[in-house]
Chains A and B, each alone.
Chain A
Amino acid sequence: MTKANLAHDPLIRISKREDIPMWKSWLVRIIGLLLALVVSGIVIVCITHINPFMVFAKMASGSFGSWIKNTNAAGETVEVLTISTKRIWVTIRDIMTLLCISVGLAPAFAMKFWNVGAEGQVLVGGIATVACMKYFTGLPTIVLVLVMIVVSMLAGAIWGFFPGFFKAHWNTNETLFTLMMNYIAIQITSFMVAVWENPPGSNSVGVINRNDQYGWLPSLFSDVPNKDFGWNVIIVLIVTVAVFIYLRYSKQGYEISVVGDSVNTARYAGIRVKKVYIRTMAISGAICGLAGFVAVSGASHTISTSTAGGRGFTAIIVAWLAKFNTFTMILISALLVVLDKGASEIASSYGINEYVSQIITGIILFFLLGSEFFINYQLKFRHNKGAEPPAAKPVQAPAANTDNEDKEANE
């Protein structure tokens, strides 16, 4: 290489990786996650001035129990961790709701269809569920549950159908379409809340059928409602496995992946692209609608505009990070929910407000997104001497770069 050449040769070159071993890609992700945890730890320490190890102990415990202040024999106040089954179930329940939405998004995303309308699809599913709980009186539990599942999925499917239909026929931008559908769903929810308001003037629906628990998803291991959320787990895991099989082994799943890779290829291969768009979006919406059922009948037993609570958006990131693999989504949903609970635990025990959990979620997601770069690309540094091709330095890279990110995330 001559000097003149060198002047034009950039110090760092970026090139696409052909292939990366599984363990290496997970190593990069784990490094990214650890860095994210360090940064969020620093943020929390700056706010609360507590021992950084205590931060993680508290965060880890947030999903399993709570710290209760006790006085020991010597008269000092010590905090004791109390494990609570109830809390563990609540954590599992929240993981399942987030997972269900993420799984619902998988078919659409595999088709490169940006369904950012999960928030709305969950809400209409929830509205449909509440309507069943209110108006279909006198059915046996099992029948009612099945009816609610069908109706909520239908509502979600309708909400997914419209953007799919317009995208298929007129190539209407689906990101913006589904975004608008969210707000329409939110207003419909406000309307229904006003209609179902109980007690009048409270501007909320209140817990529905509190006395007879009609339409509540029962507990799996006991007769007491809300004791456990086993049915939530069963329903969501069935969907998770089903979508995995659907995407990977069915003909329709194959069509989805071809359309996702290239619409022109799909057309050339004789796949009816319009049909695939509409069908897949209806399925995606239906599963998000089911998540609305799980959130209402299986968890809150009420409806409000915050029933989806931003999870429709978080799920998008979960689905994206999991690369449409529904089993990876279990891990990521669990991670996000556990962190969220942990941050809330810290917030409540130090009297800071609960939005700190959103900040931490944001930081973690930024790092996980950033680490994808080091999985897909490699950095090649300029070699001044040799003529040999520069060697890739995959593993050191994330550390160097995520440093940059820290600075920005902190600003």
Chain B
Amino acid sequence: MDLTSFLTLFHSAVVFGTVILFGALGEILTEKSGNLNLGVPGIMYLGGISGLTASFIYENGNPNASGLVSALLALISAFVFSALGGLLYSFLTITLRTNQNVTGLTLTIFGGGLANFLGGMLQKFSGGVGQVKVGKAADTFGIYIKSIAGTDTSHPLYAIFGYGWLTYIAIAIAIAIFFFLGKTRTGLNLRAVGENPATADAAGINVTVYKYLGTCIGAGISGFGGLYYTMNYIGGTWANDGTIEALGWLAVALVIFATWRPINAVWGAYLFGIAYWAYLYIAGLNRHTLELFKMLPYVVTLIVLIFVSLRRKKEDQPPAHLGLPYFREDR
């Protein structure tokens, strides 16, 4: 493989990786609060469709629509509606103490249904499958610094600077979460809630508030993954093909792969992207074997999962209270 094709591969890997990076970053925050939210695919669906719908409503029939306003509307509504998905999950699991796995799966069913339903409505409204287009928002999301990156897709600078700005926001969020979890008191409190809520409670930390906020903000971040998918990955339209769901599960896998560390998630996401697109660049794959090759990201995650549990290194383990309900009177 020569440099040019590697750079092209890398470019598509980063675009792919950013979708799941957002999903995984939100889920890391959520899981650090002790909630295993299997609703990530549903939340990413909600983020994707609500951002698209907001831009669509604004841009449709408005020739003077500003790309910046449209993009901002998409960002805000993606965050708000994903966070509301997280709120629904939090209300059920924290207040009503329903089982986390089951509630998360239900959220995935619900979010997927709602998003594909609305997506279908948008398609019908704009005259058919593939006709939905929020050009201005998509263009705004696709802005990158042409003077540095250039337009030559095989140039190394393009492989570093040639992405829409949300790509760099994802990295910034990863760094922010890294500092938040490791260096701030609030972050340490959040981790304490995820590791041992009873002790945190005894130390005067409001477990319920931390869990709610961790889950809702986490969901909001995950929702950007869906938005990035609709705006940057497929260019401001809607596709009813279930890709967001598959990517959502991959985001859950990435959390494990990154052993709950946001910085690991960044390079992990790009690695997943390379694994996902590599089949295009490997000679001798036919239509059959490429399907087998596509299972690579999942197999790699499985191996990491097994490896982590084999080594039993303390700092690689999931939060100790992950997936378990906390009820003060149970102690």
Residue positions of A touching B, CB distance < 8 A: 14-16, 114, 116, 166, 170-173, 175-177, 179-184, 187-188, 190-191, 193-195, 310, 313-314, 316-317, 320, 352-353, 355-363, 365-366, 369-370, 372-373, 376-377, 401, 404-405, 408-409, 411
Contact = CB atoms under 8 A, between A and B. Distances in A.
B82 to A, nearest CB: 11
Given A353-B121, A359-B110, A365-B106, A187 B291 contact: yes
B176 interface: no
B295 A187 contact: yes
Given A116-B105, A184-B299, A191-B292, A362 B249 contact: no
Given A16-B329, A180-B305, 17 more contacts: A14-B329, A166-B306, A179-B252, A180-B253, A184-B298, A187-B292, A316-B102, A353-B121, A358-B110, A358-B114, A362-B107, A366-B110, A370-B98, A372-B96, A408-B84, A408-B91, A409-B88
Central interface residue in B102, B117, B294, B318, by most chain A CB within 10 Å? B102
A404 B91 contact: yes
Contacts of B110: 358-359, 361-363, 365-366, 409
B324 to A, nearest CB: 11
Interface string B92-127: 100011110111011111111110110011001000
Given A173-B318, A180-B298, A316-B101, A358 B113 contact: yes
A172 B305 CA distance: 7
B310 interface: yes
Contact of A177 (B38, B108, B240, B305): B305
B242 to A, nearest CB: 9
B20 interface: no
A180 B84 CA distance: 27
Nearest to B289: A191
A15 B292 CA distance: 52
A16 B108 CA distance: 29
Contacts of B305: 172-173, 176-177, 180
Interface in B285-331: 287-289, 291-292, 294-295, 298-299, 301-302, 305-306, 309-310, 318, 323, 327, 329-330
A177 B256 CA distance: 10
B87 A408 contact: yes
B177 interface: no
B109 A361 contact: yes
A98 to B, nearest CB: 13
Nearest to B246: A183
B106 A317 contact: yes
B88 A366 contact: yes
A180 B301 contact: yes
Contacts of B240: 355
Contacts of A116: 38, 101, 105
Top-4 shortest CB links A-B: A358-B113, A362-B110, A353-B120, A187-B295
B197 to A, nearest CB: 16
B36 interface: yes
A369 B84 contact: no
Contacts of A355: 112-114, 116-117, 120, 240
Interface of B (DSSP majority class) = helix
A353 B117 contact: yes
Given A180-B301, A316-B102, A320-B102, A358 B291 contact: no
A183 B302 CA distance: 11
Nearest to B311: A170
Nearest to B102: A320
Contacts of B113: 355-362
Given A180-B305, A194-B288, A194-B291, A370 B96 contact: yes
B91 A170 contact: no
Interface in B257-301: 287-289, 291-292, 294-295, 298-299, 301
Contacts of B253: 176, 179-180
Contacts of B107: 362
Contacts of A405: 88, 91-92
Central interface residue in A183, A314, A411, by most chain B CB within 10 Å? A183
A2 B143 CA distance: 64
A314 B292 CA distance: 27
Contacts of B81: 411
Nearest to B93: A369
B295 A184 contact: yes
Contacts of A358: 109-110, 112-114, 116-117
A175 B101 contact: yes
Nearest to B90: A408
A273 B323 CA distance: 21
Nearest to A401: B96
